[in-house]
Protein backbone atom coordinates (compact mmCIF):
# COMPACT_ATOMS: atom_id res chain seq x y z
CA UNK A 1 0.00 0.00 0.00
CA UNK A 2 2.73 2.49 0.97
CA UNK A 3 4.72 1.55 -2.10
CA UNK A 4 1.73 2.19 -4.40
CA UNK A 5 0.97 5.55 -2.82
CA UNK A 6 4.61 6.62 -2.85
CA UNK A 7 5.00 5.61 -6.49
CA UNK A 8 1.94 7.65 -7.49
CA UNK A 9 3.09 10.68 -5.50
CA UNK A 10 6.60 10.52 -6.92
CA UNK A 11 5.10 10.39 -10.43
CA UNK A 12 3.38 13.69 -9.58
CA UNK A 13 6.73 15.18 -8.56
CA UNK A 14 6.08 15.05 -4.82
CA UNK A 15 9.03 14.10 -2.61
CA UNK A 16 8.38 12.12 0.54
CA UNK A 17 10.67 12.43 3.54
CA UNK A 18 10.53 10.82 6.97
CA UNK A 19 11.55 12.51 10.21
CA UNK A 20 10.64 12.38 13.90
CA UNK A 21 7.74 14.83 14.31
CA UNK A 22 5.29 15.95 16.98
CA UNK A 23 2.42 15.31 14.56
CA UNK A 24 1.69 12.77 11.80
CA UNK A 25 2.99 14.87 8.94
CA UNK A 26 2.57 17.92 6.75
CA UNK A 27 2.74 19.12 3.18
CA UNK A 28 4.67 22.08 1.84
CA UNK A 29 6.84 23.46 -0.92
CA UNK A 30 10.59 23.52 -0.38
CA UNK A 31 12.83 25.08 -3.04
CA UNK A 32 10.01 24.83 -5.61
CA UNK A 33 9.54 21.12 -4.88
CA UNK A 34 6.35 19.77 -3.29
CA UNK A 35 7.24 17.66 -0.29
CA UNK A 36 5.38 15.60 2.27
CA UNK A 37 7.14 15.07 5.58
CA UNK A 38 5.90 11.99 7.47
CA UNK A 39 6.51 11.16 11.11
CA UNK A 40 9.05 8.33 10.96
CA UNK A 41 7.51 6.69 14.02
CA UNK A 42 4.13 5.95 12.43
CA UNK A 43 3.07 2.41 11.61
CA UNK A 44 2.27 1.39 8.03
CA UNK A 45 -1.45 2.16 8.16
CA UNK A 46 -0.96 5.56 9.83
CA UNK A 47 1.73 6.39 7.26
CA UNK A 48 -0.64 5.53 4.39
CA UNK A 49 -3.42 7.58 5.96
CA UNK A 50 -1.13 10.57 6.40
CA UNK A 51 0.30 10.31 2.88
CA UNK A 52 -3.19 10.26 1.38
CA UNK A 53 -4.41 13.15 3.53
CA UNK A 54 -1.41 15.32 2.74
CA UNK A 55 -1.44 14.42 -0.96
CA UNK A 56 -4.94 15.89 -1.18
CA UNK A 57 -3.53 19.25 -0.11
CA UNK A 58 -1.12 19.13 -3.05
CA UNK A 59 -3.73 17.94 -5.55
CA UNK A 60 -6.14 20.62 -4.34
CA UNK A 61 -3.53 23.37 -4.63
CA UNK A 62 -3.79 24.18 -0.94
CA UNK A 63 -0.21 25.43 -0.86
CA UNK A 64 -1.30 28.49 -2.86
CA UNK A 65 -4.45 29.23 -0.85
CA UNK A 66 -4.63 31.86 1.82
CA UNK A 67 -6.89 30.62 4.59
CA UNK A 68 -8.44 33.58 6.33
CA UNK A 69 -10.63 31.86 8.89
CA UNK A 70 -11.28 28.66 10.78
CA UNK A 71 -14.27 27.71 8.60
CA UNK A 72 -12.17 27.75 5.43
CA UNK A 73 -9.48 25.65 7.11
CA UNK A 74 -12.09 23.22 8.44
CA UNK A 75 -13.52 22.75 4.94
CA UNK A 76 -10.06 22.10 3.48
CA UNK A 77 -9.29 19.55 6.21
CA UNK A 78 -12.72 17.93 5.78
CA UNK A 79 -12.08 17.43 2.06
CA UNK A 80 -8.57 16.10 2.71
CA UNK A 81 -10.00 13.59 5.21
CA UNK A 82 -12.76 12.55 2.81
CA UNK A 83 -10.18 12.00 0.06
CA UNK A 84 -7.98 9.97 2.42
CA UNK A 85 -10.85 7.79 3.66
CA UNK A 86 -12.11 7.20 0.13
CA UNK A 87 -8.70 5.95 -1.01
CA UNK A 88 -7.67 4.05 2.13
CA UNK A 89 -10.91 2.06 1.96
CA UNK A 90 -10.16 1.13 -1.64
CA UNK A 91 -6.69 -0.08 -0.68
CA UNK A 92 -8.15 -2.07 2.21
CA UNK A 93 -10.86 -3.49 -0.07
CA UNK A 94 -8.13 -4.87 -2.34
CA UNK A 95 -6.71 -6.70 0.66
CA UNK A 96 -9.88 -7.74 2.55
CA UNK A 97 -12.49 -7.82 -0.26
CA UNK A 98 -15.29 -5.95 1.52
CA UNK A 99 -18.84 -7.25 1.17
CA UNK A 100 -22.23 -5.88 2.24
CA UNK A 101 -21.56 -7.72 5.52
CA UNK A 102 -18.43 -5.71 6.25
CA UNK A 103 -18.91 -3.87 9.52
CA UNK A 104 -17.88 -0.24 9.39
CA UNK A 105 -17.25 -0.17 13.17
CA UNK A 106 -14.43 -2.67 12.80
CA UNK A 107 -12.88 -0.61 10.01
CA UNK A 108 -13.30 2.64 11.90
CA UNK A 109 -11.66 1.15 14.97
CA UNK A 110 -8.73 -0.31 13.03
CA UNK A 111 -8.07 3.02 11.28
CA UNK A 112 -7.77 4.78 14.68
CA UNK A 113 -9.32 7.94 13.26
CA UNK A 114 -10.96 10.59 15.43
CA UNK A 115 -14.65 9.94 16.09
CA UNK A 116 -15.44 13.16 14.23
CA UNK A 117 -14.65 11.22 11.02
CA UNK A 118 -16.99 8.29 11.73
CA UNK A 119 -19.66 9.58 9.36
CA UNK A 120 -17.09 9.84 6.55
CA UNK A 121 -15.91 6.26 7.07
CA UNK A 122 -19.53 5.06 7.09
CA UNK A 123 -20.51 7.05 4.00
CA UNK A 124 -17.41 6.16 1.96
CA UNK A 125 -17.70 2.46 2.86
CA UNK A 126 -21.35 2.47 1.83
CA UNK A 127 -20.51 4.15 -1.49
CA UNK A 128 -17.78 1.55 -2.11
CA UNK A 129 -20.14 -1.36 -1.31
CA UNK A 130 -22.94 0.23 -3.32
CA UNK A 131 -20.74 0.58 -6.40
CA UNK A 132 -19.06 -2.80 -6.03
CA UNK A 133 -22.30 -4.75 -5.65
CA UNK A 134 -24.68 -2.61 -7.71
CA UNK A 135 -26.85 -1.68 -4.74
CA UNK A 136 -29.42 1.00 -5.50
CA UNK A 137 -29.21 4.38 -3.81
CA UNK A 138 -31.89 3.65 -1.24
CA UNK A 139 -31.71 4.63 2.42
CA UNK A 140 -33.39 1.35 3.39
CA UNK A 141 -30.64 -0.63 1.67
CA UNK A 142 -27.97 1.35 3.54
CA UNK A 143 -29.66 0.79 6.90
CA UNK A 144 -30.21 -2.89 6.16
CA UNK A 145 -26.61 -3.49 5.20
CA UNK A 146 -25.24 -1.92 8.37
CA UNK A 147 -27.84 -3.57 10.63
CA UNK A 148 -27.10 -6.94 9.04
CA UNK A 149 -23.35 -6.46 9.37
CA UNK A 150 -23.74 -5.46 13.02
CA UNK A 151 -25.93 -8.50 13.67
CA UNK A 152 -23.49 -10.91 12.02
CA UNK A 153 -20.52 -9.38 13.84
CA UNK A 154 -22.33 -9.55 17.19
CA UNK A 155 -23.27 -13.19 16.62
CA UNK A 156 -19.68 -14.05 15.70
CA UNK A 157 -18.38 -12.35 18.84
CA UNK A 158 -20.87 -14.28 20.99
CA UNK A 159 -19.92 -17.64 19.52
CA UNK A 160 -16.47 -17.59 17.95
CA UNK A 161 -16.12 -19.68 14.82
CA UNK A 162 -13.24 -20.71 12.64
CA UNK A 163 -12.51 -19.14 9.23
CA UNK A 164 -14.30 -21.94 7.36
CA UNK A 165 -17.48 -21.38 9.37
CA UNK A 166 -17.25 -17.63 8.85
CA UNK A 167 -16.96 -18.15 5.09
CA UNK A 168 -20.02 -20.39 5.19
CA UNK A 169 -22.00 -17.82 7.19
CA UNK A 170 -21.04 -15.11 4.71
CA UNK A 171 -22.24 -17.24 1.80
CA UNK A 172 -25.62 -18.10 3.29
CA UNK A 173 -25.95 -14.50 4.58
Nearest Cα neighbor of 50 from 59, 61, 42, 58 is 42
As a whole number of angstroms, the distance between CA 152 and CA 76 comes to 37
Listed by start position, the domains of the chain span: 1-72, 97-173
CB-based contact 2:51 (threshold 8 Å): yes
Judge whether 125 and 102 are in contact, CB under 8 Å: yes
Q: What is the pLDDT of residue 165?
A: 46
Q: What is the pLDDT of residues 11-36, one digit of tens each?
A: 999 999 999 999 999 888 888 888 99
- pTM for the full predicted model: 0.73
Amino acid sequence: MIRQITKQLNALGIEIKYAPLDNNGFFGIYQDTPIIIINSQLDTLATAITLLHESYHFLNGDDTKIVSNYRQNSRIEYEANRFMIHHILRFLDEIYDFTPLTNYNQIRTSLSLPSSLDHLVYHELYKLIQTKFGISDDTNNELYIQEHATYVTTRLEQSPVNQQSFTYLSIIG
